[in-house]
Chains A and B, each alone.
Chain A
């Protein structure tokens, strides 16, 4: 096969999905490393870059700075290959993972590539499967939906069919059935929390949940700072007025921190410290409980998410590429408190 034929196969086969807006998160590999491990690959990368730079020089004659900026090879010590740029050049399409994210890619880190290849940069918003996040994790809800839609479970593979539920939003019988299911899911989570943490949480409180990796941009810190503010406000209020002023809440925060991420671990420590104080304050009682949900993973998510009445997706606007747990909570009839970031924008 000639190089040109091979190139056409590659170009028409591959598309590249980008998952970040942070330039520092775009990988660059040293040519020294690639040359040692994958010498033939490095030869091909240099060849692709040669052909690509020839095209750039024709398009932007004399603009050496721009050509240097866009080159697949970053000069310096060590010399590096810009892997994201290589992916853009070799793919027929490039996509971000939510409308806002794709738009930011075009305006920021890939703006020059959007000019070079108009239409190549697109959006494909991330998604989750209703098989796992309704049908598998919340069977009573799955049954309610199927029964309401005339005993047909086609919605499991064609989620658009859920639009047929809209008239039932004001149907008393349907609402009662939904509430009973939510309560049963809360009961399951209540037992899980007791088993994993030893903490007793009341059933008749609002279940307010934030579960995701612990990261400063996701702002679990803002959540716990608000919880402290709420706790202080309760203490400020005379005992007999508290019931009228505050909706009882159980605030649950869960997620893992990367091993070397000291600030994320410090935030977990603050959450557990607040939890220990608030949960043992008899003055506050059931008005506020705070739980750190340990060892968050997909298995525990299947118990946690169906029980949520409120879920938090509160990252700083422009930082969360998509986020998908917002979709999982909504599928289980939970409401979102959130910022205009990632896929929240499309849900809102």
Chain B
């Protein structure tokens, strides 16, 4: 099993930090992915732009932006 990501305690800690106004957490590689989607590279995907704006601005309840990097590491191990 390829295990990654925050445990329950880490999730709660990050949610608290987001609630307290944590900013600039998405990181370069994920920002590039967001920008690529917004540029229209995959056609008209405007329907998700609102979700991406939220993730980037503190509304990341499921901590997608935080687990993304350990997910990349786990995927590298899979390869």
Interface status of A169 (Cβ within 8 A of chain B): no
A219 within 8 A of B: yes
Contacting pair B3 A222 (CB below 8 A): no
Q: Is the interface of B mostly helix, strand, loop or mixed?
A: helix
Q: Which of B1-38 contact A (CB under 8 A)?
A: 1-8, 10-12, 29-30, 32-33, 36-37
CB closest residue in chain A, given B9: A317
**Interface positions of A from 230 to 281, Cβ below 8 Å from B:** 230, 232, 246-247, 263, 265-267, 269-270, 273-274, 276-277
Contact A229 B5 (CB under 8 A): no
Enumerate chain A residues within 8 angstroms of B71, measured Cβ to Cβ: 222, 226, 314
* A269, closest chain B residue (CB): B47
Contact in complex: A217, B78 (CB < 8 Å) = no
The complex places the Cα of A95 from the Cα of B8 at a distance, in Å, of 20
Given A225-B33, A273-B43, A338-B2, A318 contacting B48 (CB threshold 8 A): no
Contact residue among A232, A265, A273, A318 (Cβ-Cβ distance under 8 Å from B33): A232
Q: Is A339 within 8 A of B5, CB to CB?
A: yes
Contact with A along B42-77 (1 / 0, CB 8 A): 111101101100000000011110011001101100
Q: A246-B79, A270-B48, A316-B11 are in contact. Are A228 and B3 (CB under 8 A)?
A: no
Q: Name the CB-closest residue of B to A249.
A: B79
A277 touches B42 (CB 8 A): yes
Identify B29's interface contact among A229, A317, A348, CB under 8 A.
A229
Assess whether A276 is in contact with B43, with CB atoms less than 8 Å apart: yes
Interface bin, chain A: 35 or more
> B8–A337 contact, CB under 8 A?
no
Alpha-carbon gap, A230 to B3, bound state (A): 19
Residues in B with CB closer than 8 Å to A319 are 62
Verify if A149 is at the interface (C-beta below 8 Å from B).
no
Contact B48 A267 (CB under 8 A): yes
A266 smallest CB distance to B (angstroms): 4
Interface contact B1-A269, CB-CB below 8 Å? no
Complex alpha-carbon distance, A348 and B33, angstroms: 30
Could you say which residues of chain A place their CB within 8 Å of the CB of B47? 265-266, 269-270
- A270 and B42 form a contact (CB under 8 A): yes
Q: Which residues of A contact B44 (CB under 8 A)?
A: 273
CB contact between B68 and one of A225, A317, A335 (< 8 Å): that residue: A225
A226-B68, A336-B1 given as contacts; is B6 within 8 A of A273 (CB)?
A: no
Closest chain-B Cβ to A188's Cβ sits at a distance in Å of 23
Residue of B nearest to A229 (CB): B33
Q: What residues of A have a CB within 8 angstroms of the CB of B10 in the complex?
A: 317
Cβ B37 vs Cβ A222 within 8 A? no
Using A247-B79, A269-B48, A277-B42 as known contacts, say yes or no to A225 and B64 having CB atoms under 8 A apart: yes
CA distance in complex: A339, B11 (Å): 12
Interface assignment of A216: CB less than 8 Å from any CB of chain B: yes
Enumerate chain B residues within 8 angstroms of A317, measured Cβ to Cβ. Answer: 5-8, 10-11
A32 to B19, CA, bound (A): 37
Known: A228-B33, A270-B45. A100 touches B8 (CB 8 A): yes
Say whether B4 contacts A337, CB under 8 Å. Answer: yes
- A347: CB under 8 A from chain B? yes
Q: Assess the A347–B67 pair: CB atoms within 8 A.
A: no
The answer to whether A222 touches B36 (Cβ under 8 A) is no
> Inside 8 A of B7's CB, which chain A residues have their CB?
317, 340
Does the CB pair A266–B48 fall under 8 Å?
yes
List A residues at the B interface (Cβ < 8 Å). Answer: 100, 104, 206, 216-217, 219, 221-222, 225-226, 228-230, 232, 246-247, 263, 265-267, 269-270, 273-274, 276-277, 310, 314, 316-319, 335-340, 344, 347-348
Can you give 26 contacting A-B residue pairs, CB < 8 Å? A100-B8, A219-B64, A219-B67, A222-B68, A225-B30, A225-B33, A226-B71, A228-B42, A229-B72, A265-B47, A267-B48, A267-B51, A269-B45, A270-B48, A274-B42, A276-B42, A277-B42, A310-B78, A336-B2, A337-B2, A337-B4, A338-B3, A339-B67, A340-B5, A340-B7, A348-B1
